[in-house]
Amino acid sequence: MNEIVKTEAIVLSKLNYGDSSKIVSLYTNEFGKLSAIIKGGRNAKSKIGLVVDVLNHIQIILYKKDTREIQVISDASLLSPFLKIKDDFDKLKFAQAIIELLQKLTVEHEINHRLFRGVIRILALLNSSNEMPIILFGRFFIFFLEELGYAIQLDECSVCGKTNIYNKELSYNLEIGILCDECRHNHLESYVINPELFNYLNCLKFNKKIELTNVSVAEKSILFMEKYLMFHIPDFRGIQSLKIFK
Ligand SMILES: [Zn+2]
């Protein structure tokens, strides 16, 4: 069926196509991830070609046909260009990491309004809040894992069920989960979760205020979540946009 539809979207990537067109990958609110063509999009005067650019939050009108792999964009307007992100190398690096996760790990046409809203919210915060980009990215990453169906469980020891595990040296075993200070001695350890990292992950997960005194705990938390995701999704080879700090 052919229909004309309207949706909000974030632009994930953009490529030249043929002599005059552009093909874009979009993460949309109404239809999940999809590919679309901007006919004449390579022309410098194409309004749609300018509006539909990587990282922009836009509203689009699509000629949509379910049997077609690539939809046609008939109009687009800009909701936010996130200019402060594009002007700041650190913000941009983490915004690219968000785009990369959406590009690599969301499934075409799988609709998730909560994830879409979460992406817009975190990009708006990266753009305008004073919180460190690495913390904002961590907040997004732990939420994204949950939306993918791989929430990290931090409430209780995965073996004995003990819940009071704060302020102790813990382990994480990728197959079993978090291990308390007693159970950790009887299982293989994939990761040491010291009290500082455990507390930080909890703050990310439950959206608590973070006063970061040592940036290495934020880096460790991202490496941990990345390894965790690589374990659950073997095709995923890590976040290329962040290789720079490894
Ligand atoms: Zn235990």
98 and 198 inside one domain: yes
- Give me the domain span that covers residue 59: 2-80
Instruction: Please write the tens of the pLDDT for every residue from 216-242.
Output: 999 999 999 999 999 999 999 999 999
| Statement to judge: residues 230 and 210 lie in one domain | yes
Q: How many whole angstroms from 188 Cα to the centroid of ligand 1?
A: 13
Q: Give distance in angstroms: CA of 195 to centre of ligand 1.
A: 15
State in Å: Cα 170 to ligand 1 middle: 9
Q: Which own/partner contact pairs does 123-128 have at CB distance under 8 Å and 24+ positions apart?
A: 123/10, 123/55, 123/57, 123/80, 123/82, 123/85, 123/95, 123/98, 124/80, 124/82, 126/82, 126/85, 126/91, 126/94, 126/95, 127/80, 127/82, 127/83, 127/84, 127/85, 127/91, 128/84
State whether 215 and 176 are in the same domain: yes
Encode pLDDT of 158-169 as tens digits: 999 999 999 999
**Tens digits of per-residue pLDDT, 101-116?**
999 999 999 999 999 9
Q: How far is the CA of 169 from the centre of ligand 1 (A)?
A: 12
Query: Nearest 5°: phi and psi at 64?
Result: -110, 130
Distance CA 117, CA 8 (A): 10
Number of separate domains in the chain: 2
Residue 111 alpha carbon to ligand 1 centre in Å: 38
> What does the alpha-carbon distance between residue 141 and residue 135 come to, in Å, rounded to a whole number?
10
70 and 102 both lie in a single domain: no
Verify that 94 and 12 share a domain, yes or no.
no
Predicted pLDDT at 189: 87
Same domain, 54 and 133: no
**Residue at a domain's end among 80, 113, 131:** 80
CA distance 94 to 80: 17
Residues 18 and 93 in one domain: no
Q: What CATH code is carried by the domain that includes residue 223?
A: 1.20.1440.120
Cα–ligand 1 centroid distance for 130 (angstroms)? 38
Angle at 133 between CA 51 and CA 141, to 5 degrees: 85
On whether both 189 and 120 belong to a single domain, the answer is yes
How many angstroms does the Cα of residue 175 sit away from the middle of ligand 1?
A: 15
Q: Based on the fold, state whether residues 75 and 93 are members of the same structural domain.
A: no
Percent of the chain at pLDDT exceeding 90: 92
Calculate how far, in angstroms, residue 162's C-alpha sits from the geometric centre of ligand 1: 6
